Structures are given as structure tokens and as C-alpha cells.
Structure 1
Amino acid sequence: MIQERTKVQTYLQIHPNDNVLVALQDLLAGTTVITKSREVILQQPIGAKHKFFVNDMKAGDEVIMYGTLVGKVQVPVSKGELMTTANTKHAAESYAYKGFQHRWQQPDVSKFKARTFNGYKRSDGRVGTANYWLFIPTVFCENRNLDVIKEALHKELGYAVSDKYNHFTRQVFQAFKEGKDIEQIDLGPSSNQRERYFKNIDGIKFLNHQGGCGGTRQDASTLSSLLAAYADHPNVGGVTVLSLGCQHLQVEYFLADLKKRNPSFDKPLYVFEQQQSQSEEELICNAIKKTFLGLAEINKIEREPAPLRELTIGVKCGGSDGFSGISANPAVGCASDLLVALGGKVLLAEFPELCGAEQELIDRCVNESVAEKFIHLMESYNDLAKKVGSGFHMNPSPGNIKDGLITDAIKSTGAARKGGTSPVVDVLDYTEPVTKPGLSLVCTPGNDVEATTGKAASGATLILFTTGLGTPTGNPVAPTVKISTNTGLASRMSDIIDIDTGGIIRGEKTIEQMGEEILEYCIKAASGEIIPKAVLLGQDDFIPWKRGVSL
């Protein structure tokens, strides 16, 4: 990365071949920018995170950023002019397998070589970063029963997030009854959370969903594989399954998928079918009693040291902005490279957000088989979107565009930087488990929750989630670490942000320094020494992908 600075860092040239620059601060019209011994006078105000042209360009000219094609100019533009959706449209290079084209410069990992984290070792050798009990419904009809059980177990066993909003509502109601101004009522401090009885159980999680029946049989089959993946997850110690009985996703199908995924599965697993129960009350009471005994059993498991190679980290961006590909994403990429060099596993997903970065990733694939699988999944997914009048090029959201991500290729080339620079050792379809050390690509939508849901299904035991706009989401079984691209967001939404990479934008920290800080945080989070804010807030979001058009 090339950074051209004035006394105060105000703009950035990411690659020597780029013909657009990024404003790091709000720049006034008339500001003179000097790049490659050329003066560019800004024709209009350029907001922080946005891009401006450094050449006069005509319609059809290529826009280069990150050293690659990210769009084409639609109308004549002048140097110093703001890039917008009106003057620039998505464009990306064609791609094909050309052989392994990558030589990786491994980072220095000497300071991490002897480090360990304190995790939960499972009988199959995998190591979890948490110890959760999981409730799974085979069909949406059981969601209400799960909600009843959740309220009871969370409140009585000390896993409720907080009752502060209950207390706040009582205050508002009392003030309203008394004719007082409710606008004057503050939230105030939350009451003390009930002490947890099971010290070695980090949470009781519930996978409410809207599937299992009523859709296609393919949807039910995919959901079955997904739920089996979560039951088999290294962070899960035991499972309770609730079934109605008549749904498409039969319990026997789920159990078959679980055995197929892990023939040696030996965690406590209890199944309750409502249509075989005398009453709803009996079903719920029996589920609570049996689960309580299971909780007592997995509470005997304690954390113990494990090498860092046992970590599997999923990398994700959501609520992205024009700084995502400059600060948080490359910093996460640096942490990814460190973990890969230590023998760990990294999962990069969000296939709609790899559109425009395909050739670079293909060149990094270790063999033709891996590359061709990536190409097949990308093309079949994109073709499906095109059939309904969409496509990967329509991925950027209004929020992305407002904050500087004008084309999908700009978004994608920045998003791909989360995966670092190591070789691509494997490509996984949705719910396929990761097995190889190194960087693997996982086929998921770009949608925040569908993507994190898919990463956890492939085995992520931690998720690094970068955001420039602020995204309040997490995952039920993979603790999710929120990383801000800019300090303004970290200050404004400090309740959801764990790590701020805004120092990179200000030139106060290098990408490498932030990468090491992120890995240090991961070690502490994996050991239970730090609880990420998404976990503290109970952000247990779970959305199965139906393999339809979701970008």
C-alpha cells in the first residue's frame, strides 16, 4: 500500500496503478492534491471515505483501485471530480485458472510460536473456545416452546442478558400512571444478574428458525445439514432437539446427517417430539429436566491449554464503508496470515462480495481442483441471481454506497483483504466442514447473518466481524468480535465495538501492529478472559440459507 501524505494524512493511494484516490478526511473544493508529481485540484467537496479521479476520463474508461478493475466511467469526468453511482458502474475482469501463481511471504510469528489459549478439548481432538448447550427445533412450529424454555433457563440459571429494560418499562409505566413526563426517565444502572450455577458452561443457546416444513424438500435437507453442523460444533457440549413430528425435516434425517458428519459423535443429545407427548406442559418439563442433567454433565469439562493451531477463525465484514478495505479488513487479513503461519484455520466467505477479486483468489488456489470448485460455485450462484433479474453487481447496500463503496468490485476487493495473502488451500460449499489448516473459502451469501451462520457451520470457533457503519449482530455458537474501521464509529457505538482500527487511518498505527493486536484479542477471547460485546449483548443471530437468491 502506498500512502501519500501531507503534514496531516488526508488522502490515500492504495496501489501505484490506481486512478482514483480515497479521501481520509473531508476535503474542500479547490484543495490541491499532489500525486505522482501531478497536481489535482478538487472540483467539489470530497467527503471522507469517498473517491475522486486523478485523470480526465471519457465514457468507457476503466476505473482502477487496489490495482484492479473496479468499474467503468459512464460519462466524461474531470480530474478532481467525485466518484458517484451516476458516473461509475461496476465492472470486473474475467477470470480463469492459470496455474498456482502465488508466492506467499509468511509473517514473522516468533512472538506467538509458544503461545496457547485455554479451550475446551472435545473427544475427537478439536478444541472449542466456548462450552455451550444448544437447543435445536427441527421445525418453526417449536419456536414458541423454545422461547418458553429459554426464558426459564436463562433467568433461573444466570444466563439472561439483563433485566434493565424490564425495570425501565416499569418506571415508564409508573410515571405515566402518575401523570409525570416519561421523557425525563433514564435507563439507569441494570440490576445484578443472577449468579451462574454452572461455572464451566458459557451459555445456553437456541436456534430459532423459520424452516423445516412448508418449503422445498431441498430447503429441509440443507437445514438438516446446517443443524447437524451446529450440533457437531466444537463450541457445543450438548444438544436438546425439539420436534413436532409431522414436518419435512424428520428427526431421523437430522440424526443421519449428524452421523454422516461425525460418526464418532458422543455428546449428550436429547430428542423430544411434541406429537408423542401428552401435553405441551409435559414436553417442556421433560425437556428442562433432561437438559438440566446434561448441563451437569458437560459442566465437568474445564478449559485447558491448547496450541493456537487449534483456532478456526471466520472473517466477515458488514455495514461496510469506504475505510473497510483500508483499515479493519487488511488488519484482520494480517491477523489471518499470522494464524495460518501458526498452523491454524481461517474461513473467508461471502461469495457475492468476492466479485471482482476472483482472479487474485484463483491465482492463490493451491491446485486446479480447488480453483475449479471456487469458479463453479461463484458462477452457479451468480447465474441463479441473474435469472431473477439480479446479480452480484447489485450487492452494495444504500449504506455502503453512501459511505463510499460505489461498485461491488470496490466493495469486494476491499472485503477480500480480510483473508490476508496466504494460499487458498480449500473451497467449501455451504455447511461443509473445514478440515485443512490454512485459508479456506466458504460459499455463503454476503448477508451478515446468513454469512456468519454459514461460517460457524463450517467450524469457525471465533468470528472477526469488521464494520464501518455499525452492525449489531453475532452468532449463537461462535463468539463474534466487532472491529471498527474508524474511531468515530467506535466512540459512537462503543457498546457493540470491541476493537478500533481507526489509528490506521490517522497514520498512528500500522496494519501489522493492528493485526497483532487483533490476534492477541482472539487469544484472550478464545480463553474466556475477554467476553466480546456481541456475546454480552446476547446477539445470537441465526438465519439458514435456503440456497435461493440472497446477496
Structure 2
Amino acid sequence: MINKALCLDPQDNVGVALTDLKAGESFELNGYKGLISSDVSAKHKFALYDFSAGEDILMYGTIVGESTQNIKLGEPITLANIKHKIREFKEVKSSYEWKKPDVNRWENKTFLGYQRADGQVGTANYWIVLPMVFCENTNVKLLQDAFEKALGFGVVNPYEMQVRSLVASYQKEKFTESLSEEYAMPESKVFDNIDGIRFLTHSGGCGGTRRDSETLCNLLAGYINHPNVAGATVLSLGCQNAEVSTLLARLDQIQKGSAKPVVICEQQQEGTTDKLIQKAIRETFAGLVEANKISRTEAPLSKLVIGLECGGSDGFSGISANPTLGQVSDLVVALGGAAILSEFPELCGAEQPLIDRCVTSEVAQKFIRLMDEYAKAAENVGSGFDMNPSPGNIKDGLLTDAIKSCGAAKKGGTAPVSDVLDYTEYIKTPGLNLLCTPGNDVESTTGLAGSGANIILFSTGLGTPTGNPVCPVIKVATNDKLASRMPDIIDFNTGGIISGEETIESSGDKLLNLIIQVASGKVTTKADEKKNYDFIPWKRGVSL
């Protein structure tokens, strides 16, 4: 029998509809029973008893809202009858004891990765081309056009044929389906051990604050230091705030072992665009020849660094996909690996449990400071964490930021918090790390890769094509309908947890097996298939 509703914690006073509930249907949850007073859509919540105005709404065992009026037993919880509210948080002395999951079956498992001189292991082998300033974006695109097809990394746009057909019809000419040699599919790859050249562009580097430029340099250094990157070509104009010297100084701080090859091309020094591009091509090709000399070898799962992200979330995110990501996070941490939980605005309301899990007072204090600074920065621009849920989130049951956050925090599993990273800080400690990023999907995934995640797990209930230039992004659906409706962007489905066909543990095992396949280069993510190489640096204090 399929459960129609559930409670997420014994302390909760609202139920979650797993399927559409009709008025008059009976329920019995958490010791409460009654009738649904009016229709409740799947993913939405309903009152387990009669609420008076001003009462706390409890989900996940904590405060996620407050009733603004009387709410009858069985009545839907909506924005018309509740508002955002969270539990106050502070550092308290606690002795958190973690019950590690059983990882015996995983201890001898390996993945095929690229061993780097600094001890990191890549799940891919890329060369990256990036600009120090937006003025060089056009030249990055010129290099992309020159390299991709010639080296066998280009693809024919499948929609080009449709446009050409429409052009032929408009010009009243006969259209032929055969592609000319100019549009033919590229030949096989020139470099067998290189997974691609990734070309990054952005809108920063000059004209903003000096802090933004310094942050951009730190982020780009993280990308060059990334385990999936063999080397980089850097295009600079020469007069921008984001100076090459700042980038190289940051890279020197975080690099261990042998320095990676970095080709620097400065346009104002080279002179003409032609000279700049020719130098970039010549030296990049030489770098590719060297990068191709490394091949995949076996690596333990302790070399995995899992980025944890969600986007296009729904009312099932905190029940199916996010707990599955949390299960995988716990398995990887128990094996000696690392996981990075991002999106600080989406931890609003879940702070105290995370604080209680911090391994030291210093780690807890850093988390509290970053959360407070971020919240104040948002308020200073006329916003706040309570404004975080998007219209799509709200429509699918995530009414307040606290409801969304407590479900989002499930991605971090139950492991102790070993470290807290500010934006662009590179990971240095195994275990569960918290990374200060916005809730904006692409800004956050950009930050996860910049801090060293070599695989990103991305849960979604509504669907999103988000990917990353240097880090495979595995898209995890919360429900069967999404997985069926958008199979071209979904890599893994946790909908069986909602239907009762799967458990969080069994789903986590299957997802970890998929991670091993992706990390070994045997399975390509849907985001990589569609070239969703999204890269947006964060300007502090602007995004939620």
C-alpha cells in the first residue's frame, strides 16, 4: 500500500501529502488523526490539529514558520496562513557522536581517475582557457572555434538543420538533408587522454569593486588548481583590476607539489589580436601534448570530493533526493573522502543542528560569522533570506525559506562538520565541509568546483539543465514524473522513495555506483552531453 502522507519527524505538527489528498480523506500521523478539510496537492502540507494564530509550524523537528491566523485540523498550510520563522541559533557545547554508515562493501572499490602531482585525483582531464577580464571574452570564443572541431571536441548543433530548412523555405529553394563538408561531424579525438578543452567567459575583472576582482582571481586560481584540470591558458588585456600577478600569487598559495602549466597571453603586450591568438594556439597545443601523457589509473574512493547542490527544488526534495545525497555524503566521508555542502541562504533555519555537529568551536564560530555577515549583507540591499523561495519552489510546497532550508540541509547527511569554507577557499580537510555560496544554482556550482569538488551531485524537483565546465554534474530527480518528463537532463531518479519502492539507503548505494562510473569516465552526465558548461562568479552580497 502506498502511503498518502507522512511526517518527517516525531516532533512535527504538519503532515506532507505524498499524493493529491481530497477533502474528506482520513489521516493518522504522529498520534494525530482526522479528516482533510479541503483538497491538499501533493508535496504540500496540512495541519495535524487546530492551530491558533502565532503558533510555531514544525517540520524536520524544528521551527519552519509561524501561523498568522487560526488553521483548522486537516487544512492546507499556505502563504495565506503562515509566515517565515526560524529557531534562534548560537554556539553551544555539545559532544556530537556520529554513527558512521557501514562501508565494508565499499572499502575495496576504486574509480579510474587522473593522479595529480599534489595528491588530488581528477575525474576528468581538461585544459581550460579563461579570461582575466570580460574584454577578452571574444578572443576566448575565437580560440574555442579554432580548437574544438579541429581536435574532435566539437559537435554539430542539432537545431541547425531546422534553421537551414526554414531559410531554404523562405528563399524558396529546395532543402537537402545532407550536410556539406563544412558542417560535417568532427573526426575522432586527436588526444585520447584529454576529455576536452573548456572555455570559460564571465562579465567581471574590471569596472566593479576591487574586492570583486580579487575574489575573481581567487576563483580562477581554484579552477586552475582543480584536480580535473591539467593546465590553463589565461588571456589578459593588461590594464584590468583582476591582475595576472594576483591570480598567480593565489595559485602559489593553494598549489602543492609541481606547479601546473599556465600559459599567459596579454593583449596589450602582444599587440595585434592575430599575434595574441597565434601565441595562445601555439603554446596551448604544446600544453595539450604534455597533458595527453597522463592516463586514468585506479584510485580509492577516499579521493572523491563530492559537491552537494540543489536547484529547482520541490516539496519532495527534502524527502527523497536530498536525503539520498546525504546518504552518499556520509558514505564518502566514512571512506575518508570529502563532501562540500553549499548554499548558505538555504541553511537558514537549519543552523543549530549544523553548529552542534561542528568538530571545534573555531569551526562553529566561523559558520555563525559567515551566516550573520551574509544575512546582514542581504538586508542592506533590501532583501533577506526569507525572500529566498522562488515562485516555482512555492508552487511545489516550499513556502518559507526555513522549509526549503531544512530539506536542503539533508544533502549534508549526518557526518560531523570538519571545516567551514568562505567563498573561493580551497578544500583542505577531509569530511563534511560547509561552503559559503549563494542559493543561485550556477553561482553555487561555480563555487563548488572552485573549491575543489571533483563530482557535483545536483538534486532537483522541477528540472534544471545546470552543469559546470570542469566538474561532472549528476542531476538527481526527486520524483518519477520529472524523471519521465525530462529524461534528457536527469541522470538519476529517487522517485522510488516517494512510492515506497526504494529506501534512502538503497537509493544511496545505487547513486554511489553511478558516481564511480562517471568518475571513471565510463558514463557521461546529461549536462556534459548537452554542453551545459555554466560558469558565473558570485559578487558578494548580491545574490540569494
Query: Shorter-chain TM-score: what band?
Result: over 0.9
Q: Which amino acid is 2:5 matched to?
A: Y
Match of 1:262 among 249, 255, 278: 255
What residue number does 1:64 align with? 58
Matched, 1:98 2:92: yes
Matched, 1:124 2:129: no
Q: Which amino acid is 1:88 matched to?
A: I
**What is the DSSP-based 3-state SS (H/G/I as helix, E as strand, rest coil) of the residue aligned with 1:164?**
coil
Structure 2: distance between partners of 1:256 and 1:265: 15
What residue number does 2:134 align with? 140
Q: Which runs of 5+ in 2 are unaligned?
A: 178-182
Contact 1:63–1:72 (8 Å) recurs in 2: yes
Matched, 1:335 2:328: yes
Matched, 1:54 2:9: no
Match of 2:28 among 20, 25, 34: 34
Structure 2: distance between partners of 1:12 and 1:255: 53
Structure 2: distance between partners of 1:268 and 1:549: 34
Deviates more, 1:162-171 or 1:22-31: 162-171
What residue number does 1:14 align with? 8
Matched, 1:450 2:443: yes
Q: Which amino acid is 2:509 matched to?
A: E
What residue number does 2:73 align with? 79
Contact 2:26–2:34 (8 Å) recurs in 1: yes
**What is the DSSP-based 3-state SS (H/G/I as helix, E as strand, rest coil) of the residue aligned with 1:254?**
helix
**What is the DSSP-based 3-state SS (H/G/I as helix, E as strand, rest coil) of the residue aligned with 1:47?**
coil
Structure 1: distance between partners of 2:161 and 2:274: 29
What residue number does 2:423 align with? 430
Deviates more, 1:264-273 or 1:373-382: 264-273
What residue number does 1:497 align with? 490
Q: Which amino acid is 1:103 matched to?
A: E
**What is the DSSP-based 3-state SS (H/G/I as helix, E as strand, rest coil) of the residue aligned with 1:543?**
coil
Q: By how many angstroms is 1:252 displaced?
A: 1.4
Q: By how many angstroms is 1:165 displaced?
A: 1.9
Give the CA RMSD over aligned residues. 1.7
> For residues 410 and 161 of structure 1, do their structure 2 counterparts lie closer, same or farther at Cα, with a shift above 3 Å needed?
farther
Q: By how many angstroms is 1:281 displaced?
A: 1.8
What residue number does 2:144 align with? 150
Match of 1:44 among 38, 46, 50: 38
Structure 2: distance between partners of 1:203 and 1:84: 48
Structure 1: distance between partners of 2:477 and 2:187: 31
Q: By how many angstroms is 1:161 displaced?
A: 4.1
**What is the DSSP-based 3-state SS (H/G/I as helix, E as strand, rest coil) of the residue aligned with 1:156?**
coil
Q: By how many angstroms is 1:293 displaced?
A: 1.3
Contact 2:86–2:402 (8 Å) recurs in 1: yes
Contact 2:118–2:256 (8 Å) recurs in 1: no
Contact 2:134–2:201 (8 Å) recurs in 1: yes
Match of 1:232 among 225, 228, 231: 225
What residue number does 1:281 align with? 274
What residue number does 2:161 align with? 167
Q: Which amino acid is 1:129 matched to?
A: T
Structure 2: distance between partners of 1:288 and 1:171: 35
Q: Which runs of structure 2 are paired with 1:103-502 in the superposition (5 Å)?
A: 103-178=97-172, 192-262=185-255, 264-502=257-495
Q: By how many angstroms is 1:296 displaced?
A: 1.1
Q: By how many angstroms is 1:325 displaced?
A: 0.1
Q: Which amino acid is 1:333 matched to?
A: G
Contact 1:344–1:437 (8 Å) recurs in 2: yes
Structure 2: distance between partners of 1:530 and 1:409: 36
Structure 1: distance between partners of 2:485 and 2:122: 32
Q: Which amino acid is 1:99 matched to?
A: K
Structure 1: distance between partners of 2:383 and 2:16: 28
Q: Which amino acid is 1:160 matched to?
A: G
CA-to-aligned-CA distance 1:457-481 (integer Å, 9 cap, x gap): 1110000000000011111111100
Contact 1:161–1:536 (8 Å) recurs in 2: no
Q: By how many angstroms is 1:277 displaced?
A: 2.1
CA-to-aligned-CA distance 1:205-238 (integer Å, 9 cap, x gap): 1120111100011111111111111111111001
Q: By how many angstroms is 1:26 displaced?
A: 1.1
Q: Give the count of matched residue pairs.
A: 539
Q: By how many angstroms is 1:34 displaced?
A: 2.0
**What is the DSSP-based 3-state SS (H/G/I as helix, E as strand, rest coil) of the residue aligned with 1:390?**
coil
Q: By how many angstroms is 1:126 displaced?
A: 1.0
Q: By how many angstroms is 1:40 displaced?
A: 2.0
Q: Which runs of 5+ in 1 are unaligned?
A: 1-6
Q: By how many angstroms is 1:414 displaced?
A: 0.3
Q: By how many angstroms is 1:121 displaced?
A: 0.5
**What is the DSSP-based 3-state SS (H/G/I as helix, E as strand, rest coil) of the residue aligned with 1:362?**
helix
> For residues 191 and 519 of structure 1, do their structure 2 counterparts lie closer, same or farther at Cα, with a shift above 3 Å needed?
farther
> For residues 510 and 148 of structure 1, do their structure 2 counterparts lie closer, same or farther at Cα, with a shift above 3 Å needed?
same
CA-to-aligned-CA distance 1:491-541 (integer Å, 9 cap, x gap): 111000000000000000000000111111111111101111111111111
Matched, 1:538 2:526: no
Q: By how many angstroms is 1:179 displaced?
A: 8.6
Structure 2: distance between partners of 1:35 and 1:370: 38
Identical columns (%) = 55
Matched, 1:528 2:528: no
> For residues 36 and 117 of structure 1, do their structure 2 counterparts lie closer, same or farther at Cα, with a shift above 3 Å needed?
closer
